[in-house]
Amino acid sequence: MGAILPDFIVQRAEGYYCRYGDFFIDPILPVHRAVITHAHADHASRGQHTVYATAPTVAFMRFRYRGEAGHAFVETPYHQQFSLGGVVLRFIPAGHMLGSAQIVMAYGETTYLFTGDYKLQHDDTCEPLETLRADVLITESTFADPKVSHPDPVAEISKINGIPHHVLIGTYALGKAQRLTSLLNRICPDRRVFVHHGILPFHRLYTAMGVSHLRYEPYNRRALKNSLNHHVYLVPPMAFNSYYRATPFVRVFASGWEHLQRNNDLSLYISDHVDWNDILDYVGRVSPREIWTVHGDGRHLASFFAGVIPVRRILDQQQVIP
Ligand SMILES: [Zn+2]
């Protein structure tokens, strides 16, 4: 059983840093070596020198940042090992969006698993989550609160069938919008899915990368206006917020966050993150000796596992003796 290095990954201004391999994970500022879990903008930022990521993540970054995405890209398939410094890394699927990865890092006899954003719920628009045993589980804790329980997404999306109007759904453009399209196709097959121009390129990239079952159409005001049937229009958050109540849509926003459900006509709790029970389930699968948390609040996890598994926030650089 290898020793756990408390400073294996630390928080720096640029992002999470591993000095044993001299690389950053999901840096928010430009760095020389960036290992990137997935393409959401708060994890994949522009201006990196060398990027290690899955092919879909690289494709989304190149689309979003054009020539500013980075200098060099090392497209790395799931399960393929690569070494940085003394650390042997590999990606495994995180189930969060297309191309999303957890990072498995082996150093000496010790294995560290950095989840990035992940989910256990079924999603047929991305690779299903994979799990392995690790000594240290470094988990996101966005919804690590016993009060948070995400409902069944199929039951949530079924609500749309009961609405006798067109439905405007606010959604993040990348990942969530494609998952919603697939759910709507399956659960609400009578509804045509119209897609805002700000979301369309991501649908097309998904299709180009093998998610070929999505049925959708570019937004067409006339088709919606003249239709006797009721349909769905997916729009990104900015467009959603600029629609006024006077427009003939029932308004919903797809999210795990309670505060994003307020002021809408109906709630639609669809999240691409783990909830409280999912995290507990996941800890059981990984069976770690320690849990470190990133994003959000690890307090509830620390009290739940008190006396069983040490839980703490990832260390800040300032807390580490140089
Ligand atoms: Zn994400």
pLDDT tens track, the chain, 322 positions: 789 999 999 999 999 999 999 999 999 999 999 999 999 999 999 999 999 999 999 999 999 999 999 999 999 999 999 999 999 999 999 999 999 999 999 999 999 999 999 999 999 999 999 999 999 999 998 888 999 899 999 999 999 999 999 999 999 999 999 999 999 999 999 999 999 999 999 999 999 999 999 999 999 888 888 888 899 999 999 888 887 655 678 999 999 988 888 888 889 999 999 999 999 999 999 999 999 999 878 899 999 999 999 999 999 888 776 5
97 C-alpha to ligand 1 centroid (Å): 7
Q: What is the model's pLDDT at position 289?
A: 98
273 C-alpha to ligand 1 centroid (Å): 8
239 C-alpha to ligand 1 centroid (Å): 20
CA–CA separation, 79 and 64 (whole Å): 26
**In terms of CATH, what superfamily is 153-260?**
Metallo-hydrolase/oxidoreductase (3.40.50.10710)
100 C-alpha to ligand 1 centroid (Å): 8
CA–CA separation, 39 and 155 (whole Å): 28
The angle subtended at Cα 270 by Cα 269 and Cα 273, nearest 5°, is 115
Give the CA distances from residue 253 to residues 122, 168, 250, 259, in Å, rounded to whole numbers and listed in that order.
20, 8, 10, 10
Q: What is the model's pLDDT at position 221?
A: 84
Q: Are 196 and 235 in contact (CB under 8 A)?
A: yes
Beta strand spans in the chain (E): 10-12, 15-18, 23-25, 33-35, 48-53, 70-75, 82-84, 87-93, 101-107, 110-114, 136-141, 167-170, 193-195, 217-218, 232-235, 250-253, 290-296, 311-313
40 C-alpha to ligand 1 centroid (Å): 5
**Domain assignments of the chain as residue spans, ordered by start:** 10-146+273-316, 153-260
CA–CA separation, 25 and 113 (whole Å): 12
Residue type at position 226: N
Q: What phi, psi does 90 have (nearest 5°)?
A: -155, 155
Contacts of 49 (CB under 8 A, 6+ apart): 30, 31, 32, 33, 34, 70, 71, 72
CA–CA separation, 238 and 170 (whole Å): 9
156 C-alpha to ligand 1 centroid (Å): 21
118 C-alpha to ligand 1 centroid (Å): 8
Q: What is the model's pLDDT at position 247?
A: 62
Q: What is the model's pLDDT at position 242?
A: 81
Contacts of 81 (CB under 8 A, 6+ apart): 88, 89, 90
Q: What is the model's pLDDT at position 245?
A: 58
Residue holding tokens 């189930």?
95
Contacts of 161 (CB under 8 A, 6+ apart): 187, 188, 190, 191
175: left (phi over 0), alpha (psi -120 to 50) or beta: left
Contacts of 120 (CB under 8 A, 6+ apart): 95, 129, 274, 278, 281, 282
Q: What phi, psi does 58 have (nearest 5°)?
A: -65, -40
- Report DSSP state, residue 254: B
220 C-alpha to ligand 1 centroid (Å): 29
96 C-alpha to ligand 1 centroid (Å): 7
128 C-alpha to ligand 1 centroid (Å): 15
Which among 40, 23, 14 is positioned nearest to 174, based on CA atoms? 40
- If one counts every other C-beta atom within 10 angstroms of the C-beta of residue 130, the result is 17
Candidates 3.40.50.300, 3.40.640.10, 3.40.50.200, 3.60.15.10; correct CATH number of 10-146+273-316?
A: 3.60.15.10
